[in-house]
Amino acid sequence: MIHPFARDCLAGPSRTVFILPPHKFLPMEHRFDKHYTRDEARALLPQIHKWLELLNRLRHELERFDKRLSGLAEQGNDIGGETVNNWIRALADMQEVLAEFQRRRIFIKDLERGLIDFPAIMGGKEVFLCWEQDEEEIEFWHDLDTGFSGRERL
């Protein structure tokens, strides 16, 4: 028998039905507290391009400084001075840009490829809008747990 208020019902374990007035429904819990629409994510792409270029440049600088510092340390030289200061400055600059991604709840999945995920809601389900730096538009999405291999066209 179907209860007359079936639209306000939730099915529980063992087919138990709970009657809840519409105002008593609890919001769905999500893994992320920020969700992007496609337009919101698209609007950030010019800035994300700049940040990714900067992050990759800083990453290459850090690698160059690391090699120089390692060579100096192997020779028993003092590794202080300008090279260390430049290394620290590049690291601080990198952390500042990464904080921008973190503050916006945008995920860098692969820095070299420029692979980015934006949390989103599609059809009531929490997913990622997926974008790669060489793509002109945000055209793909995937489930939270499938990653790049699970990408599907929007």
pLDDT of residue 21: 54
What are the beta bridge partners of residue 139? none
Lowest mean pLDDT among 43-47, 48-52, 70-74, 138-142: 70-74
User: 10 pLDDT exceeds 50?
Assistant: no
What is the pLDDT confidence band of residue 91, given thresholds at 50, 70 and 90? very high
Share of the chain above pLDDT 90, in %: 60
What is the pLDDT confidence band of residue 28, given thresholds at 50, 70 and 90? low
Contacts of the segment 122-125: beta carbons below 8 A, 24+ positions apart: 124/28
What is the pLDDT confidence band of residue 68, given thresholds at 50, 70 and 90? confident
**Does residue 107 contact residue 117 with C-beta atoms inside 8 Å?**
yes
- Residues of 35-62 as b/e, b for ≥16 C-beta within 10 angstroms? bbebeebeebbeebeebbeebeebeebb
CB atoms < 10 A from the CB of 143, how many?
A: 14
pLDDT of residue 30: 84
Mean pLDDT for the chain overall = 83
pTM: 0.74
User: 29 pLDDT exceeds 90?
Assistant: no
User: 126 pLDDT exceeds 70?
Assistant: yes
Segment 101-123 mean pLDDT: 96
Which amino acid would we find at residue 52? L
HEC string of 38-104 equals HHHHHHHHHHHHHHHHHHHHHHHHHHHHHHHHHHHHHCCCCCCCHHHHHHHHHHHHHHHHHHHHHHH
